Structure 1
């Protein structure tokens, strides 16, 4: 996709910053090939960072959560969450590098100081250590590449490349359709059984504001005011913020609706983007996208 013109909510933490390789930064990647030695975890990380317009991000959360930069990569798994099930799948695939979009250890900073006596944390850590698997969180960087890797992945998943409004997080449908049919379309394309919404299922929608993931209520509401969409489609919200704003807007008389795609459903396509990036730039390394599924079920 393109630059959205609004700031994505990023909670940046203290941590190591991986500096891009000077060689890679100096020249575009042509595709990594190797005759004897496979690339290391660090070389793959540095190659991605070298393509970020702003370069290395200070105080990023995008650090190694397990393993070593010096590990020679036998295979890569890209995913939204490095769950225990995803780790087991990586083991089956003989892949020793997982690139995950979200935290591995249950908090944004992956601070594990409070988990040292926790059995679930210890099991997961031991599983990674036993099989020599490195985990890198790629959150800030994949949102900083141009186009934004997550937004581009979602756009491709929806097949909306030709509907994009340049320079905006907005899509203009060729013809209006009902909110109900739009929700049905999202459910089919993103393979989710249900979506929450605010609005009238018969409302005609044509201008769609798409904000995957968790932008935060203030940014979502400001974007609604800026772009004046028929419907805003978010990954997730705080229920006391954007949903209440949309409810009040409708009571005021605005024809505005809200659809919640789900955080995983809206951002997992970014992990497909990463698998494709690996195949383009490191064709000698087997890269597999593994969907973690949803942690939540619908009763």
Structure 2
């Protein structure tokens, strides 16, 4: 029995109410195309697309857009050589790209957060699943430094960024993936959930980091770990690939992650 791209989209969005201005859509390709193979990734980079072509995968399911802005607008990129080269690669390869962003964040629990928590081996520490964050309780004697080192080792990260004291004991923390590290989300959590630590993907650097700095200067024990946007969300897309492999066992399904975008010099 043939599997079409629409069949895959239907599975990804079953029982999910997408927002009116959702970014989840088939950005490139036709929904009635037969699926030969699926590539699941966080970011559909030029390298990822080339890799998909080599493995004869004609559907890429990506969490983020291929063309450098949240709503996948391309008018502003007209005649840009990088955009044109990537667009040509996609067209010539006849690869379809479906963006799975809003739906996976609306899974119960949030599919991206769940992937990160499972990858870190922290499922037993989760006290509460919230739409924007998971609330965790760590065993006694766990320090911010212990948590940071565990994240680096387990996820293969070159670095994470820490604000606050690395040797501070951490009993309660919140994990916020992606671009959820802004003050409007994190600062109320510190107070309402009596948190010691926020672990986030990224956010405005003049908000949560500065709040933590002021808290520390006032003698309050608070800390922040910023791990990077892709670093916080890639594991969720890998979990999605694993689940799709179970649902569609006759279709080759691959997960691929590109190299980290930033280097420490």
TM-score band, normalised by shorter chain: over 0.9
- CA 1:57–1:281 in structure 2 vs 1: closer, same or farther (change >3 Å)? farther
* Cα distance in structure 2, aligned partners of 1:162 and 1:50: 28
CA drift of 1:152 comes to 0.8
Q: Which of 220, 229, 246 lines up with 2:212 in the alignment?
A: 246
Aligned to 1:156: 118
Spell out the pairing of 1:91-240 with structure 2 (5 A cutoff).
91-168=53-130, 169-215=134-180, 216-240=182-206
- Could you say which residue in structure 1 is the equivalent of 2:256? 290
Question: Deviations along 1:247-294, whole A, 9 cap, x unmatched?
Answer: 111122211100111111111011112102211221121111101222
- Secondary structure of 1:135's counterpart equals strand
Q: Distance in 1 between matches of 2:51 and 2:104?
A: 23
> What secondary structure is seen at the aligned counterpart in 2 of 1:176?
coil
Alpha carbons of 1:74 and 1:266: their partners in 2 closer, same or farther (altered >3 Å)? same
Q: Which runs of 5+ in 1 are unaligned?
A: 1-33
Report Cα offsets for 1:99-121 as digits up to 9, x if no partner.
11012100111100011211111
Structure 2: gaps (5+ residues): none
Would you say the 8 A contact 1:209–1:229 is kept in 2? Answer: yes
> Cα RMSD over matched residues?
1.3
Is it true that 1:40 corresponds to 2:4 in the alignment? yes
TM-score by length of 2: 0.95
Give the Cα–Cα distance (whole angstroms) in 2 for the partners of residues 44 and 56 of structure 1. 16
- Deviation per residue, 1:10-37 (Å, 9 max, x gap): xxxxxxxxxxxxxxxxxxxxxxxx3xx2
Alpha-carbon distance, 1:56 to partner? 4.0
Distance 1:179 1:145 in 2: 29
Q: State the distance in 2 between where 1:63 and 1:176 align.
A: 46
User: Relative CO higher for 1 or 2, CA cutoff 8 Å, sep ≥ 6?
Assistant: 1
**After TM superposition, where is structure 1 displaced by more than 4 Å over at least 4 residues in a row?**
none
Q: Distance in 2 between matches of 1:226 and 1:284?
A: 47
What is the TM-score normalised by the length of structure 1? 0.84
| 1:83 equivalenced with 2:45 (yes/no) | yes
